């Protein structure tokens, strides 16, 4: 059984079919990349998977369970966790407080309306921050973190939700080469139980990390295969370089 299956998924904005009849299968334990030129519908497909947007057509299944009609909240409880393209955190909290929010929601403890001392929770927050290389930054307010550190915190926050399917929308956007290297190390070190689906522009990062790649172009799947298939494909090269369109121009 696959970790995620999209069948005939589509979403239109007015006359524009941003995502059109897309089939996507992500195998359990895969490091699956979703790539494509600007405007290919990557981010929209991503949102259809997480439930931020609802699909007009098609089905989304999480580990064999139909989640098409479920809200983002329900999908999150079923083990989907995401980081967003633009880091999206909590301006009045420290790094540790941020992670605690996610830990509390997903470790089965109750969100009580009275204060609770929970040293174990603090410890686990510290562990997950250390896991992404923010060990010494727990008490730092989020606005005081650098751009790269915020991205790292995003990853810690999403992992604190104990995902089975981990979705990342352009995790390396705006990162320095050193930060990128750290990100690759972090993601490739994730346990096998966590399936990863990520949208990424940086093809070096894609080929360093992915064991499966799906290429989107103009809202449709152009190709799905191994990184080697994608490298060898003329269609992909044309989509990225626009050669296809130039050819059309001359033959018409």
Partner 1 sequence: MTAVEPSVVPATPAARRGYGRWVAIAVLVVLAAAPLFLAPFATSTLSRVLVFALFAVSLDLLVGVTGLPSLGHAAYFGSGAYAAGWTSIHVTAEAPVPLLVGAGVGALAAASTGWITARSAGVFFLMLTLAIGELVGQVANTWESVTGGANGLTGVPAVRIAGQPLANAGFTHWYVLLVAALGFALVWTVARSPFGDALRGIRDNEPRMRALGYSTSLYKYAVFVLAGGVAGMAGSLLVAQQRLVSTADVGFLISSLMLLAVVIGGAGSLWGACLGAALVVVVRDALGPTLDGHGPLVLGIVFVAVVYLLPRGAAGLLGRTR
Answer yes or no whether residue 161 interacts with partner 1 by CB under 8 A.
yes
CA distance 240 to 222: 11
Answer yes or no whether residue 152 interacts with partner 1 by CB under 8 A.
no
Among 21, 23, 72, 127, binds partner 1 (CB under 8 A): 72
Per-residue contact flags (x/-) with partner 1 for residues 42 to 61, judged by CB under 8 A: --------x-x---------
Which strands form 4-13's sheet, in the order they lie side by side? Answer: 16-26, 4-13, 57-62, 65-66
Question: Any idea which residue has 């174990």 for tokens?
Answer: 120
Among 12, 25, 63, 101, binds partner 1 (CB under 8 A): 101
Among 1, 111, 178, 249, binds partner 1 (CB under 8 A): 111
CA distance 147 to 87: 8
183 with 172: CB under 8 angstroms? yes
Answer yes or no whether residue 77 interacts with partner 1 by CB under 8 A.
yes
CA distance 159 to 30: 16
Give the residues lining the site for partner 1 (CB under 8 A): 50, 52, 71-73, 76-77, 81-82, 84, 86-93, 97, 100-102, 104-106, 109-116, 141-144, 147, 150, 157, 161
């Amino acid at each position: 059984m696959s970790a995620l299956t999209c069948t005939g998924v589509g979403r239109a904005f007015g006359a524009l079919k941003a995502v059109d009849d897309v089939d996507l299968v992500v195998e359990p334990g895969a490091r699956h990349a979703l790539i494509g030129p600007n405007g290919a519908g990557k981010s929209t497909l991503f949102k259809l998977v997480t439930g931020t947007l609802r699909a007009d057509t098609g089905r989304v299944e999480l580990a064999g369970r139909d989640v098409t009609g479920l809200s983002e909240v329900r999908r999150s409880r079923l083990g989907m966790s995401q980081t967003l393209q633009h880091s999206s955190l909590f301006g009045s909290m420290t790094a540790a407080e941020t992670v605690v929010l996610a830990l509390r929601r997903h470790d089965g403890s109750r969100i009580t309306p009275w204060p609770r001392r929970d040293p174990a929770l603090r410890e686990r927050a510290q562990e997950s921050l250390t896991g992404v290389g923010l060990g010494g930054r727990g008490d730092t307010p989020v606005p005081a973190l650098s751009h790269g550190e915020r991205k790292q915190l995003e990853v810690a926050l999403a992992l604190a939700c104990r995902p089975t399917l981990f979705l990342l929308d352009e995790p390396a956007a705006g990162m320095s080469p050193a930060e990128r290297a750290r990100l690759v190390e972090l993601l490739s070190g994730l346990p096998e139980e966590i399936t990863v689906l990520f949208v990424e522009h940086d093809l070096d990062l894609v080929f360093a990390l992915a064991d499966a790649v799906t290429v989107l172009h103009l809202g449709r799947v152009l190709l799905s295969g191994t990184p080697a298939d994608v490298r060898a494909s003329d269609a992909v090269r044309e989509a990225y370089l626009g050669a296809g369109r130039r050819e059309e121009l001359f033959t018409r």
